[in-house]
Amino acid sequence: MAKKEITTKGIVIREVMMGEADKLLTVLTPELGKITVRCRGVRTLKSHRFAAAQLYIYSDMILSEKDGLYSLSEAEPIESFFDIRLRLEAIACCEYFADLVNTVTVEGEGDAEIMRLFLNSLYALAYRRELSVRLVKAVFEARLSVLLGFMPDLTACASCQKEEAAFVDVAGGEVLCRDCALSSSGSFDGRERLLLPVNGAVVSLFSYVATCEAKRIFAFSAEDDSLEMFYRLTERYLLYYIDKKPDTLTFLLSVL
């Protein structure tokens, strides 16, 4: 079969060194999804593809494909997110996001929304200094949970239907009022419960992040006590459903 030329946009989320000058890149694209791309000679400064073959560089790419194998023919960087590299906590958070994306995406299956979330979050880490790294992390975790199909039912208490949420039952993906949470036994409807405290502001914040336009995902304000609840909720919620704690999270938490 003859080689096919493909034009796409892509961002590098993982790299493996090969030989003296080559790399094997994991690239996230909107149409092709996550793909593995062989890049020959890109570790030399003379290579015109050197910049585009670096981690977390977003580029216009021309790929050569044959029998499902991709190689990088040409590339022109669009955005480097350079300022992420100026703060240890920002680069650690970026590595965590890339680890999560690599974990939850499937080779060859496009997911433009996850890619958009990743790009928007990297932009926030690089250029929105008024946003804390912890806040960007929590928003990314909440939105990714929803994109993966794990949106909790936040409308009312799952037991009595009161609109007074006091806890999120992580295992059930629903909220409980205080009375129902305290009166229930250690399991709920046959499931082990994992209850995390919330208030109305946290419920509203999660709902906003879950449903807003992608470009407005960081356009909100909240009180500090509600944000602390939100931070704890989003991490526990996402990790429960993907059933994995990335090593990159351990390092991130050590520097935050």
Is 135 a domain residue? yes
Q: Is residue 47 included in any domain, yes or no?
A: yes
Pinpoint the alpha helices (H) of the chain.
Answer: 88-104, 112-127, 133-147, 178-183, 200-211, 224-242, 247-255
130 by Cβ neighbours in 10 Å (0-12 / 13-18 / 19+) ranks as exposed
**Domain end point (choices 57, 79, 101):** 79
214 domain-assigned = yes
194 occurs within a structural domain: no
DSSP 88-125: HHHHHHHHHHHHHHHHH--BT---HHHHHHHHHHHHHH
Structural domain range at position 120: 85-150+199-255
**Sequence-ordered list of residues with C-beta below 8 angstroms from that of 249, at least 6 positions apart, any chain:** 96, 99, 235, 239
**Ranges in the chain, pLDDT < 50:** 186-190
CATH number at residue 54: 2.40.50.140
Residues 113, 215 share a domain: yes
For position 103, which CATH number holds?
A: 1.20.1440.120
Tell me, yes or no, whether 56 and 97 share the same domain: no
Same domain (yes/no): 66, 16: yes
Residue 164 counted as domain residue: no
pLDDT at 188: 45
Domain finish residue from 79, 108, 140: 79
Does 13 lie in the same domain as 96? no
> 0.75 exceeded by the pTM?
yes
For 150-196, write each residue's pLDDT tens digit. 999 999 999 899 888 899 999 889 999 999 888 765 444 445 668 99
pLDDT value, residue 1: 58
Residue 71 shares a structural domain with residue 98: no
Let me know if residue 161 belongs to a domain.
no
